[in-house]
Amino acid sequence: MSRLPAIDREALTPQHQGIWDLVRVGKRSTDMRGPYAVLMHVPELADRVNALQAYFSGTAALSDEDRELVILAAVREIGAQYAWARHEFRAHELKVPDDLYKQAEAELGTQRLVEAVTLTGLYGMIGLLIKAFDVPPAPEDPPTF
Q: Does residue 21 have a pLDDT over 80?
A: yes
Determine, yes or no, domain membership for 107. yes
SS3 assignment, position 59:
coil
Determine, yes or no, domain membership for 118. yes
Determine, yes or no, domain membership for 68. yes
Determine, yes or no, domain membership for 31. yes
pLDDT digits (tens, 9 = 90+) for 28-42: 777 888 888 889 999
Determine, yes or no, domain membership for 1. no
pLDDT digits (tens, 9 = 90+) for 62-113: 888 888 888 888 877 777 776 767 766 655 555 744 556 778 788 888 788 8
- Rounded to whole angstroms, the Cα distance separating 9 from 29 reads 13
Determine, yes or no, domain membership for 83. yes
What is the amino acid identity at position 116?
Answer: A
The torsion angles phi and psi of 53, rounded to 5 degrees, stand at -65, -40
Determine, yes or no, domain membership for 3. no
Range of the domain at 23: 9-132
Q: How many domains does the chain have?
A: 1
The CA-to-CA distance between both ends of the chain, in Å, stands at 18
Q: What is the pTM of this model?
A: 0.65
Q: Cα 121 to the chain's mean position, in Å?
A: 10
DSSP 11: G
Determine, yes or no, domain membership for 140. no
